[in-house]
Structure 1
């Protein structure tokens, strides 16, 4: 099975909330192809109560066995990268995972504590993923199985002589 890795940077936005229980909300905002020359946790933009942070590097992994899923993503009209963020308890959220497989991205959402969002796929990632798809995709033809014919076993009622229960005399 062929595997290809690609490093990307993850940007998230921290929004001030008007909520008595939660002060801030963290949401994935963008994927950067390659890695910028800034430290993870660096504020890269401010817009009033909103701050954009570079959260750090993440590794996208392409597997040759998942190319049909990548095709679904690329042809969806809105190719995306799914980003999962996790609060480590210190108020700063970290990258828990990134994927271009829409079904794996959906599975990320099964973890209640993570914040999972699709973000637009950058052009450079789209080019790499398309090249990987073209090189490794093998179309699988759909094969509909025929059901086996069911052979009905004879059934016996309670009074039938061939039906014996433990403890019966006979």
Structure 2
């Protein structure tokens, strides 16, 4: 779905797998395992069950690509396994274990969410079709930024010694000594 020339959007379904935890402190282990490009809306729809392991279509979220973030997409595409980053929050609700908040193709945005420590960021491998979609958008909109070196002023700042020492001391001999307290 095209909204403007500078952005495009596609619904992405995320598949989350629940397996038994390996410690007594974590009863279940939750892990994002796949994406479903162009998926229909879903809310923790059970897809497959193998013993105690269950896979859910947890949510369908919009993946939006922005023309001014193409550098981040190029970094993602140059990785050995290009990925989608899923941001999950533990809402502590009884009806659903985790809340899927965002999907992004930008590793920089994924890192920003991971830095807060409040959200869980899962890296999910992209499908071949999704890689081609992101690559086509990135190549169409990417513009290399030319590095422009900043030039320094020619003004000499080392010729004047303003603010040297303590202003309360009136003598020129030792400007670094502490002022004496006048005893009355």
TM-score, with structure 1 as normaliser: 0.83
Matched, 1:6 2:10: yes
| 8 Å CA contact 1:8, 1:59 repeated in 2 | yes
Counterpart in the other structure of 1:154: 161
Whose RCO is larger (CA < 8 A, sep 6+)? 1
Give the C-alpha shift of residue 141 in structure 1: 1.8
Q: Aligned pairs, how many?
A: 162
In the TM superposition, residue 77 of structure 1 has moved relative to its aligned partner by 2.1
**Aligned partners of 2:107 and 2:16: how far apart in 1?**
20
Structure 2: give runs of 5+ residues left out of the alignment: 180-184
Shift of the 154–111 alpha-carbon distance from structure 1 to 2, 3 Å rule, reads closer
- Greater Cα offset, 10-19 or 98-107: 10-19
CA distance in 1, matches of 2:78, 2:24: 42
Please, what is the CA RMSD of the aligned residues? Answer: 2.4
The question of whether the paired residues in 2 share the 8 Å contact of 1:3 and 1:62 is answered with yes
What is the aligned partner in structure 2 of residue 17 from structure 1?
21
Instruction: Please name the residue that 1:168 is paired with.
Output: none
Matches within 5 A, 1:1-170: 2-36=6-40, 39-91=42-94, 92-148=97-153, 151-152=157-158, 153-155=160-162, 156-157=164-165, 158=169, 159-160=171-172
Q: TM-score, normalised by structure 2?
A: 0.78
Distance 1:95 1:41 in 2: 10
| SS of equivalent to 1:110 | helix
Deviations 1:128-170 (A, max 9, x none): 2112112211111222324445512324454239x9x9xxxxx
* Mapped contact 1:28–1:85 kept (Cα < 8 A): no
Gaps of 5+ in 1: 166-170
Question: Quick check: 12-21 or 25-34, which moved more?
Answer: 12-21
Task: Check whether the contact 1:28–1:116 (CA below 8 A) recurs between aligned residues.
Answer: no
